[in-house]
Amino acid sequence: MADTARTARQRSPLAHAAHRLAAATRASKGAIRLAELPLLAQVNVRLDAKSPAADAVGLALGLQLPLEPNTVVHAGEVTVVWLGPDEWLVVGRPGTQRALEERIRAAAGDEHVSVTDVSAQRTTLLVGGPRARDLLAHGCSLDLHPRAFGPGRSAQTMLARAHVVLVAREEPRAGFWVLVRSSFAGYLTDWLLDAAVEYR
Amino acid sequence: MARGHEAARPEPATPRPRPGTRRSPTGGRIHRQEPLTFTFDGKQYQGYRGDTLASALLANGVIQAGTSIKLGRPRGIFSAGVEEPNAVVQIEAPFPEPMLPAPAVELYDGLVASSLPGQGRLATEPDPARYDALHAHCDLLVVGAGPAGLAAAAAAADSGARVILADDQPEAGGSLLGTGEHLDWVAETRARLDRDPEVRVLRRTTVFGYYDDNHLLAVERRTNHLGADAPQNVARERVWRIRARRVVLATGAHERSLAFGDNDRPGVMLASSARTYLHRYAVVPGRHAVVFTTNDSAYPAALDLAAAGVGIAAIVDTRPEPGEWAERARAAGIQVLAGHAVTGTEGNERLTAVTVAPFGESAGQHQFAVDLLLVSGGWNPVAHLFSQSGGTLRHDDTLGTFVPDSGRQAVEVAGSANGAFDLATALAQGAAAGARAVEAQGYTARTPVLPAVTARPYTPPMQVFTVPGASGAPRFVDLQRDVTVDDLARATGAGLRSVEHTKRYTTAGTGGDQGRTAGVLARGVVAELPGVDVSALGLPTFRPPYPPVSFAALAGRHRGVLSDPIRTTALHEWHVEHGALFENVGQWKRPWYYPRDGEDMQSAVLRECRAARENVAFMDASTLGKIDVQGPDAGVFLDRLYTNMMSTLKVGMIRYGVMCRLDGMVFDDGTVIRLAPDRFLVTTTTGNAATVLDWMEEWLQTEWPELKVHCTSVTEQWATVALVGPKSREVLGSLAPGLAVANDAFPFMAWREATVAGIEARVCRISFSGELAYEINVSPWEAVALWEALYEAGAPYGITPYGTETMHVLRAEKGYPIVGQDTDGTVTPQDLGMSWVVSKKKRDFIGKRSYARADTLRPDRKHLVALLPEDPALFLPEGTHLVADSELPAPPVPMLGHVTSSYRSAALGRTFALALIKGGRERIGERLYAPVGDRLVPVTVASPVLYDPEGARRDG
């Protein structure tokens, strides 16, 4: 009950832009899908990849923490994004951040591990549709061709003038996740909507 | 239906004239079913879709297209491409654009252009069009879709390699469009490229810059050619940022002119350009012509024009034995004057006659009455991009020009850009370069179908740059800059030898055309003058952009609100709805103050200050930087970073801290909250959040890797609301019934987990105003709910939202410095009067050693003090200097310091300022003087804590 009341009160950073994102999606006639994936659980994990904690945390999440730079690993509804040699972002369903945090802490035991809830630090934009790559290429200098940035790839890069975490979704047609700092989300949304004008 | 509608349309009252008396009835690549109307210099003309402005003007018998920049001489269309030096026009409608070469302007309906006396005019109204940019990556970028470029792309296509073929024309073909040859092959190759999904063909796209790591910039003109029909949502021009693993440059060659007397009259035209006008646009640019050449390439032009009905009076060839081509011309009934040269011309608005003499003699022997003089002084490879890439050029003595030599990047040059002016060689070079480029990356190249090219006769060209003429007749080298042989002679006469010097002395090659037709000619002229070897002279450096690129295109969509990111907090909409004006703090928009109807800034801020001091007020402090510091060594780490002790802080408590650089100067300040034995939350100033995190990471990664500490930014994980004022405890208590808010239960510099208005919160008793105050931290997802609950619960007390200006006044009244406003990187904590924040007990911390330096111990260092103007209404502007005497001595005037912050105080009922003053603390009570406007006003130095110095208000 309390949770329902809480969810009802929670307002995601791009709640105010939902109708504009939907309108741009409609106007593109299927070329582009833009939407906020609001309130996802996001937990930042720092640990020594060579310590026993790496395996233990992976086991607790049902996967292996990705060690290859700029990759992601999925297991069920949990996605783990490589952010650095000792840093990962664990993304899960809305409302699961506390459970994730506890699961990771419990698995790490006495090892030196830092677990930080950063769910509100960034929001997630879905950029999909057949022209998603072109849309992003207006402001992202990375090569997003499926050969170079297929499923399982991620990057920390600039989209327009905002720092983002970019994740290629499992199916190439499913598009991208763009994780952006909440304070930049309004700017980035304005930029994406303006870029989408070309694809009407 | 459409057809019937067309038929029903009444005929216009005046039948339109058949476009162009110089237009051949058939041929060309124009669309005769699409006539277009355009205006040039106020007169209306017709052309066709597929025309350029230049070809349409020529078709209408207009050849003069402006006057020259310095001498005002009439000038005509000289070329058929972007190299045009003369016909540089102003577009007036649909949108003003200055200085476009008419042969590069595609004709559209409603185009209005005018000729220019050398310089154009920028638009005075904002450009309504969209411009954008696109990043692209490829295995092979081919620049130029002429024969060599098409062959390169064809060899690379279907291999799986990602190929981009960029060409500046509306259709592929390059020089073949001008000669009318092998156009079937062009069409077939183009179709084949279109079928490969990994090949992208960019038309109307000029690659203009070649940078390191094979990064190239191009501009695509996407809707210019549509005129008023251009769709509003499509970017007019697009900048392509291309990262290519390999590059093949097939950029072709430009024909160059010759310097002979009066070589600038309208009617003088490059020979190949006249051929292009004939084949591509079905335009015959004159009725009677003389052809003046030093090489074979003008002969096919002469023969084609003769076949189209132009009377070729003579081919004047400087070579004594022009060879097989001359025989062919004679066989076609054309007179060839071997070993001759054109020495002068006549005519004003248009060429009327040409004088010819044996080469080397100035006296004329023949005069021909003609309206067209076709010139070919040889060919220059378009090596701009290759040169920009870092490639070197070498002088080819046979060709008499500079050709690409060794490259520095993964680039090859093919075709005439490489000096291969023969078609068969150009095709073969292109195909081989394309194949090599993709095979080097593991793809299997295909053997492209190339057209069968019949061998052509060849006689080597003769290297000629200048022709002696009648004395006094100017011999132009750079038509756009009005630079003559005599100008260059003056430069060399003044002792200049370097081409960089002669270029700057004469301006030859500095026009919008960048000396495309003039560059090598100028070099040749300079070399002839003092008798220097032209190959030793070299060429000036080529720099991007290759042609002029508009600032609008480069700016792209980074305009207006998108010019720079705007960072907002979760409460931003509330602030907007409640009339806040905003202050930019870095990229953040922070509420500055909330004026009510009729209020100016001064009265709004005084009202907000009174509310905070007398009742209750609240502010969005979410922009403060927040860093989560975790790990068993977190306390040790913070002890080393801050000047004061942090490891002794108890869980549940908060401490203010100052960070300094190694030089001991204040770098940032904020509060440190101990969340757990191994976990702290550090706040930073709004503008320094990222810098402080980088600073922490730098020390952890480079100096103290043994410390078990991790730092994670949580700036946006928390929304922070400052609740300030004597009534703040009541407001908080009413919303947090489970929280013991009494002073002894919840003391100053403590924090508590609590539920506020039903929201999980971390409440901190921190004050940046001296008043009883709380900072309530919640998830930003629930910040609006918290804020609205506070607004409602505080209403009985007149709760007032306040902005950064009020925050500044309140803190200044208490003498709290703002890092970056009251400090400037030269101020120590001791200078700020905060010796208490510098630990005497700690063994070491960043900056400690610097406090033993003589300079940081000087007694006359600038101290932060308050200033009270003796006139309590007088406002000292920030930045005002302070002097000791009421009369200014003769300069240099000794300055004692300056005002860093200045406000009107509601609580003090007067103005006051903070200032950094030499030996300020010893001057408290002294009178100093501040120049304000024309006056020196007296001020009194005071302790920086002007309000509630005993701190009685802190606990409510």
Task: Give the Cα separation of B754 and B510 in Å (integer).
Answer: 72
Q: Which of residues 580-619 of B touch A (CB under 8 A)?
A: 588
B683 DSSP β-pair partners:
B626
| Range of weakest confidence among B474-478, B514-518, B613-617, B868-872 | B514-518
Chain B CB contacts of A46 under 8 Å are: 630, 710, 712
Query: Is A114 within 8 Å of B565 when comparing Cβ atoms?
Result: no
> What's the sign of the alpha-carbon dihedral B630, B633, B637, B642?
positive
Q: Which of residues 397-456 of B touch A (CB under 8 A)?
A: none
Looking at chain A, which residue has its C-alpha nearest residue B788? A9
The angle at the Cα of B919, spanning B917 to B921, to the nearest 5 degrees, equals: 90
Looking at chain B, which residue has its C-alpha nearest residue A11? B781
Q: Compute the nearest-CA separation of A105 from chain B (Å).
A: 13
Chain B CB contacts of A11 under 8 Å are: 570, 781-782, 784-785
Q: Is cis: bond before B891, omega within 30 of 0?
A: no
High-pLDDT (> 90) share of chain B, %? 86
Q: Where are the alpha helices (DSSP H) in A10-152?
A: 18-27, 52-61, 97-108, 132-137
Chain A CB contacts of B573 under 8 Å are: 16
Query: Is A195 within 8 Å of B132 when comparing Cβ atoms?
Result: yes
pLDDT at position A7 is 65
Fold topology of B2-115: Ubiquitin-like (UB roll) (3.10.20)
In chain A, the domains with their CATH numbers are: 15-35+123-199 (3.30.1360.120), 41-117 (3.30.70.1520)
Q: Taking the CB of residue B473, how many other CB atoms lie within 10 A of it?
A: 16
High-pLDDT (> 70) share of chain B, %? 97
- pLDDT, one tens digit per residue, over B730-768 is 999 999 999 999 999 999 999 999 999 999 999 999 999
Q: Compute the nearest-CA separation of A21 from chain B (Å).
A: 17
**Cβ of B705 under 8 Å from any chain A Cβ?**
no
CB B773 within 8 A of CB B767: yes
Domain B858-956 coded CATH 3.40.50.1100: no
Confidence at B10, pLDDT banded by 50, 70, 90: very low
Q: Compute the nearest-CA separation of A111 from chain B (Å).
A: 10
Could you say which of B132, B243, B779 has the minimum Cβ distance to residue A120? Answer: B779
Buried b (16+ CB within 10 A) or exposed e, B904-928: bbbbeeebbbbbbbbbbbebeebeb
Task: Show the beta-strand stretches assigned E in B68-195.
Answer: 74-76, 88-93, 97-101, 111-115, 131-143, 163-166
- The gap from C-alpha B4 to its chain's centroid, in whole angstroms, comes to 51
Looking at chain A, which residue has its C-alpha nearest residue B130? A198
Buried b (16+ CB within 10 A) or exposed e, B811-840: bbbbbbbbbeebbeeebbbbbbbbeebbbe
Query: Is B716 within 8 Å of A141 when comparing Cβ atoms?
Result: no
**Cβ of B71 under 8 Å from any chain A Cβ?**
no
The residue with greater pLDDT, B508 or B608, is B608
Q: Taking the CB of residue B503, how many other CB atoms lie within 10 A of it?
A: 25
| Residues of chain A where predicted confidence (pLDDT) is lower than 50 | 1-2
Query: Is B565 within 8 Å of A162 when comparing Cβ atoms?
Result: yes
In one-letter notation, the amino acid at residue B268 is V
CB B823 within 8 A of CB B666: yes
- pLDDT, one tens digit per residue, over B227-253 is 889 999 999 999 999 999 999 999 999
Could you say which of B562, B715, B782 has the minimum Cβ distance to residue A194? Answer: B562
CB B568 within 8 A of CB B716: no
Q: In the 8-state DSSP scheme, what is residue B876? A: P
**Cβ of B235 under 8 Å from any chain A Cβ?**
yes
pLDDT at position B18 is 45
Q: How far is CA B523 from CA B387, B405, B466, in A?
A: 17, 18, 11
Q: In terms of Cα–Cα distance, which of B98, B122, B101 is closest to B546?
A: B101
The angle at the Cα of B934, spanning B931 to B939, to the nearest 5 degrees, equals: 30
CB B791 within 8 A of CB B799: yes
Q: In the 8-state DSSP scheme, what is residue B650? A: P
Could you say which of B136, B557, B567 has the minimum Cβ distance to residue A194? Answer: B557
Q: What is the dihedral of CA B850, B851, B852, B855, to 10 degrees?
A: 80
In the numeric block, the tokens 């005075």 are attached to B124
Query: Is A138 within 8 Å of B562 when comparing Cβ atoms?
Result: no
> What's the sign of the alpha-carbon dihedral A87, A89, A95, A100?
negative
B874 has a pLDDT exceeding 80: yes
Query: What predicted TM-score, i.e. pTM, was given to this entire model?
Result: 0.93
Task: Give the Cα separation of B673 and B629 in Å (integer).
Answer: 10
Q: In the 8-state DSSP scheme, what is residue B19? A: S
CB B75 within 8 A of CB B486: no
**pLDDT, averaged across chain B:** 94
Task: Give the Cα separation of B604 and B802 in Å (integer).
Answer: 9
Query: Is A190 within 8 Å of B136 when comparing Cβ atoms?
Result: no
Burial class (CB in 10 A: 0-12, 13-18, 19+), B442: exposed
B123 has a pLDDT exceeding 90: no
In the numeric block, the tokens 């030089």 are attached to B663
B268 DSSP β-pair partners:
B373
Task: Give the Cα separation of B456 and B228 in Å (integer).
Answer: 46
The residues near B425 (Cβ < 8 Å, ≥ 6 apart) are: none
Task: Give the Cα separation of B799 and B863 in Å (integer).
Answer: 36
Task: Give the Cα separation of A51 and A110 in Å (integer).
Answer: 11
- The gap from C-alpha B839 to its chain's centroid, in whole angstroms, comes to 49
Q: Which of A183, A184, A193, A198 to mutate to test the interface with B (most CBs of B within 10 A)?
A: A183
**Cβ of B708 under 8 Å from any chain A Cβ?**
yes
Assign domain B625-713 to its CATH superfamily. Answer: Aminomethyltransferase beta-barrel domains (3.30.70.1400)
Could you say which of B132, B136, B782 has the minimum Cβ distance to residue A10? Answer: B782
Q: Which helix (H) or strand (E) holds B108?
A: none
Q: How far is CA B382 from CA B264, B403, B445, B537, in A?
A: 23, 9, 27, 18
Q: What is the dihedral of CA B807, B809, B814, B817, to 10 degrees?
A: 80
Chain A CB contacts of B780 under 8 Å are: 13, 120, 182
What are the backbone angles phi and psi of residue B821, rounded to the nearest 5°? -105, -50
What are the structure tokens assigned to A168, written together? 């290629």
Q: Which of B562, B564, B693 to mutate to test the interface with A (most CBs of A within 10 A)?
A: B562
Q: Compute the nearest-CA separation of B735 from chain A (Å).
A: 16
Looking at chain A, which residue has its C-alpha nearest residue B712? A116
pLDDT at position B886 is 93
Confidence at B102, pLDDT banded by 50, 70, 90: very high
pLDDT at position B8 is 39
The residues near B442 (Cβ < 8 Å, ≥ 6 apart) are: none
Chain B CB contacts of A5 under 8 Å are: 758
Q: Compute the nearest-CA separation of B236 from chain A (Å).
A: 11
Q: How far is CA B364 from CA B261, B266, B352, B367, B536, in A?
A: 11, 21, 16, 7, 34
Q: Taking the CB of residue B28, how many other CB atoms lie within 10 A of it?
A: 22
Q: What share of chain B is helix, strand, coil (3-state, %, to 5)?
A: 25, 30, 45
**Cβ of B233 under 8 Å from any chain A Cβ?**
yes
pLDDT at position B11 is 39
Could you say which of A10, A12, A184 has the minimum Cβ distance to residue B567? Answer: A184
Q: What is the dihedral of CA A195, A200, B5, B9, to 10 degrees?
A: -20
- The gap from C-alpha A13 to its chain's centroid, in whole angstroms, comes to 14
Query: Is A114 within 8 Å of B130 when comparing Cβ atoms?
Result: no
Q: In terms of Cα–Cα distance, which of B939, B930, B813, B936 is closest to B877?
A: B930
- pLDDT, one tens digit per residue, over B309-318 is 999 999 999 9
Chain B CB contacts of A120 under 8 Å are: 716-718, 779-781
Using DSSP bridges, classify how beta strands B927-932 and B935-942 pair: parallel, antiparallel or unpaired: antiparallel
Buried b (16+ CB within 10 A) or exposed e, B727-756: bbbbbbebbbeebebeeeebebbbbbebeb
What are the structure tokens assigned to B753, written together? 């987990």
Q: In terms of Cα–Cα distance, which of B742, B754, B739 is closest to B786?
A: B754
Q: Compute the nearest-CA separation of B678 from chain A (Å).
A: 10
Q: Compute the nearest-CA separation of A62 from chain B (Å).
A: 24
Q: In the 8-state DSSP scheme, what is residue B310? A: -
Task: Give the Cα separation of B320 and B336 in Å (integer).
Answer: 11
For residue B246, give the 3-state DSSP assignment.
Answer: strand
Q: Which of B712, B759, B782 to mutate to test the interface with A (most CBs of A within 10 A)?
A: B712
Chain B CB contacts of A197 under 8 Å are: 130, 233
Fold topology of B572-622+718-810: Gyrase A; domain 2 (3.30.1360)
- Quick one: how many helices (H) and strands (E) in chain A? 6, 10
Greatest extent of chain B over all pairs of C-alpha atoms, in Å = 116
Sheet holding A114-117, edge to edge: A72-75, A78-84, A87-92, A41-46, A114-117
Query: Is B717 within 8 Å of A145 when comparing Cβ atoms?
Result: no
Q: Compute the nearest-CA separation of B782 from chain A (Å).
A: 5
Exposure on the CB side of residue B815, measured as CA atoms within 13 A: 20
Q: Which of residues 144-203 of B touch A (CB under 8 A)?
A: 162
- The gap from C-alpha B786 to its chain's centroid, in whole angstroms, comes to 44
In one-letter notation, the amino acid at residue A153 is R
Q: What is the CA radius of gyration of chain A?
A: 17
Could you say which of B132, B565, B628 has the minimum Cβ distance to residue A138? Answer: B132
CB B743 within 8 A of CB B801: no
What are the backbone angles phi and psi of residue A167, rounded to the nearest 5°? -125, 125
The residues near B743 (Cβ < 8 Å, ≥ 6 apart) are: B955, B956
CB B224 within 8 A of CB B106: yes
Average the pLDDT over B93-111 and give the result.
Answer: 92
- pLDDT, one tens digit per residue, over B357-382 is 999 887 767 999 999 999 999 999 99
Average the pLDDT over B301-315 and give the result.
Answer: 96
Query: Which residue ranges make up each domain of chain B?
Result: 2-115, 572-622+718-810, 625-713, 858-956
Chain A CB contacts of B717 under 8 Å are: 116-121
Query: Is A187 within 8 Å of B785 when comparing Cβ atoms?
Result: no
Task: Give the Cα separation of B894 and B247 in Å (integer).
Answer: 63
Q: Taking the CB of residue B697, how many other CB atoms lie within 10 A of it?
A: 12
Exposure on the CB side of residue B770, measured as CA atoms within 13 A: 22
**Cβ of B678 under 8 Å from any chain A Cβ?**
no
Chain B CB contacts of A139 under 8 Å are: 133
Q: Compute the nearest-CA separation of B567 from chain A (Å).
A: 5
**Cβ of B632 under 8 Å from any chain A Cβ?**
yes
